[in-house]
Copies of this chain bind each other. A is one copy, B any other.
Amino acid sequence: MSTSAKTYGDPETRRRILDATWELLEEHGSSIKLAEAGDKAGVSRQAVYLHFGDRSGLLVALVDHIDRSLGSVRLREHVFGAPTGVESLRRWVDTMAWYTAKINRVSQILEGAQHEDEALAAAWRNRMNRRQDLLHQHVTERIAAEGRLAEQWSIDDAAALIYVITMPGPWRELTQELGWTPEEYSEHIWRLFERSLLTNTTQ
């Protein structure tokens, strides 16, 4: 699936519209008007419809666009290519501390729009499921294989907790509302995981 069904028009224009949409969401972090997106990209409102069909199509495309723009592939390689599962978890937390900062506004809006927009919900869910799988396979399973998973936890449960706690929601609350710095976020979340999920090696 998702073998790019040949997108309409000039890819460069398409990219400009997506970037404009992204910027607008960041700026006045509310659901944008399609006319604005077009204006900011230097095209007519109709061009937006030609490229993306409707609002839903635009937002779904944006999810993908953001992933590409932030070089998610390379990030994944760095995080999940760590020598050990424990180190991979460490890198995951560190990475989320700044990565989530970049997609914060957008993720907040897209999460909120899911109720009005089924296609968007599917796209977002898909993205998050992939994240879950990666954490399961490359982090939690390896930690267990290394004998570092505290005995109380199943692999599934540990993976679920890591996934949930490092989602944008908690990050947003901790850094935006409670004033944690990225360093504090990274440090404290890591400590939380280390103490609760891992076996003690500070003997």
Which A residues form the contact surface with B (CB < 8 A)?
29-31, 108-109, 111-116, 125, 150, 152, 157, 160-161, 163-165, 167, 169-170, 173-174, 177-178, 180, 184, 188, 191-193, 195-196
Taking a contact as CB atoms under 8 Å apart, the answer to whether A170 and B180 are in contact is no
Please determine whether B164 and A173 come into contact, CB atoms closer than 8 angstroms. yes
Copies in the complex: 2
Could you say which residues of chain B place their CB within 8 Å of the CB of A115? 29-31, 108-109, 112
A107 to B112, CA, bound (A): 11
Closest chain B residue to A171 by CB distance? B164
Please tell me if the beta carbons of B31 and A152 are within 8 angstroms of each other in the complex: no
A109 to B54, CA, bound (A): 22
Q: Do A30 and B116 have beta carbons less than 8 Å apart?
A: yes
Minimum distance in angstroms from A23 CB to a CB of chain B: 16
Instruction: Report, nearest first, the 7 A-B pairs whose CB atoms are least far apart.
Output: A112-B112, A169-B169, A196-B196, A195-B196, A30-B115, A164-B170, A192-B196
Contact of A170 (CB < 8 Å), options: B170, B177, B188:
B170
B170 touches A174 (CB 8 A): no
